[in-house]
């Protein structure tokens, strides 16, 4: 499936030890915490450059921690109140202090709202949240709960409609099709100008409207664990599954590509339908866990289709299996494949 990954991100991932140039909102939380202790004097930009890396090591050295340049649990605990929790692990409201508040403020600033990025949820931050909520068309309460956090990360503010295509088969009815695709009989009838009382002609092509809801925010650590566990259950290398997920979304459940690919694994609606009807033979809930399940199962299917050739399976995940077989790997696909493979064991 063709996805939203930018070549710049792919190129950055190729360098194993090089600093990542794409902004990572979670890193903004780290930069704020390091700045509060006087170890980081650069911009709060979410970019892991040399200044941030040097500041982490200097802080670790000062705190008598292993100097590895990685902001792990012990380093974050040493940073005190600004060292956690990670963004998405709790609802944010007035008076809260922490890493996640810094990330919230960074995301608000990236949307052109608010200027303060200090890890403290004060009046100005509450006003910025209300302004964002008003602009996004969601409940305006100045509290950053799951919906607000999700929309800030890139999910659509309002429920939208996706439209899939379905060919009527023997034994189908509007009720059966509606249940299979998580929609309703009236919605199906309206979308296709049908009389619900009449039988469906076999072979008819139907439009399937399905509600797309913004998923709830989930902490990156929980998403990572979910990917690993799902991969193990399905016989897929967890390191490979995590590398694909990181390349696709950075473990963010709320990413929606311009092509309509959704969630952590960036699954398109046709791929989701294929996995449900052909690979698994059952419906999969439209949740973060369901998205990961579909993505991992699809990756397993591609590995089997290409006889365990990881490189071709990854290429098919990005470009499409048919295109890989018929046209070989596009240049940007080669970049994607090498980037994902370089991420194994690192995320």
Show which residues are catalytic: 248
For residue 18, give the DSSP letter: S
CA distance 244 to 346: 12
CA distance 98 to 223: 20
CA nearest neighbour of 5 among 189, 298, 261, 342: 261
Q: What are the residues whose beta carbons fall under 8 Å from the beta carbon of 294, sequence distance 6 or more?
A: 265, 267, 271, 272, 275, 276, 284
CA distance 174 to 161: 18
CA distance 318 to 335: 11
CA distance 53 to 33: 13
Structure-derived torsion over alpha carbons of residues 298, 302, 308, 314, reported in degrees to the nearest 10 = -90
């Amino acid at each position: 499936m063709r996805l939203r990954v930018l070549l710049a991100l792919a190129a950055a991932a190729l360098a194993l030890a090089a600093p990542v140039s794409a902004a990572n909102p979670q890193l903004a939380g780290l930069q704020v915490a390091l700045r509060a202790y006087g170890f980081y004097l650069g911009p709060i930009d979410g970019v892991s450059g040399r200044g941030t890396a040097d500041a982490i090591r200097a802080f670790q050295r000062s705190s008598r921690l292993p100097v590895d340049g990685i902001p792990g649990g012990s380093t974050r605990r040493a940073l005190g109140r600004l060292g956690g929790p990670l963004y998405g692990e709790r609802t944010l409201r007035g008076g809260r202090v922490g890493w996640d508040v810094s990330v919230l403020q960074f995301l608000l600033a990236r949307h052109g709202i608010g200027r303060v990025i200090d890890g403290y949820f004060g009046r100005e931050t509450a006003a910025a949240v209300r302004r964002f909520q008003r602009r996004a068309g969601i409940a305006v309460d100045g509290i950053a709960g799951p919906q607000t956090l999700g929309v800030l990360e890139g999910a659509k503010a309002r429920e939208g409609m996706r439209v899939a295509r379905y060919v009527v088969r023997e034994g189908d009815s509007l009720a059966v099709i509606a249940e299979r695709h998580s929609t309703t009989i009236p919605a199906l009838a309206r979308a296709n100008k049908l009389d619900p009382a009449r039988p469906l002609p076999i072979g008819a092509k139907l439009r399937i409207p399905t509600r797309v809801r913004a998923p709830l925010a989930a902490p990156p650590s929980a998403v990572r664990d979910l990917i690993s566990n799902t991969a193990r259950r399905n016989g897929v290398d967890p390191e490979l599954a995590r590398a694909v997920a990181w390349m696709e979304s950075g473990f963010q459940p709320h990413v929606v590509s311009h092509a309509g690919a959704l969630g952590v694994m960036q699954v398109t609606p046709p791929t989701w339908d294929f996995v449900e009807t052909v690979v698994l033979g059952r419906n999969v809930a439209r949740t973060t866990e369901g998205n990961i399940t579909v993505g991992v199962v699809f990756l397993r299917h591609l590995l089997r289709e290409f006889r365990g050739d990881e490189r071709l399976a990854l290429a098919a995940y990005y470009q499409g299996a048919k295109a890989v077989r018929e046209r070989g790997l596009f240049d940007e696909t080669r970049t994607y494949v090498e980037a994902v493979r370089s991420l194994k064991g690192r995320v």
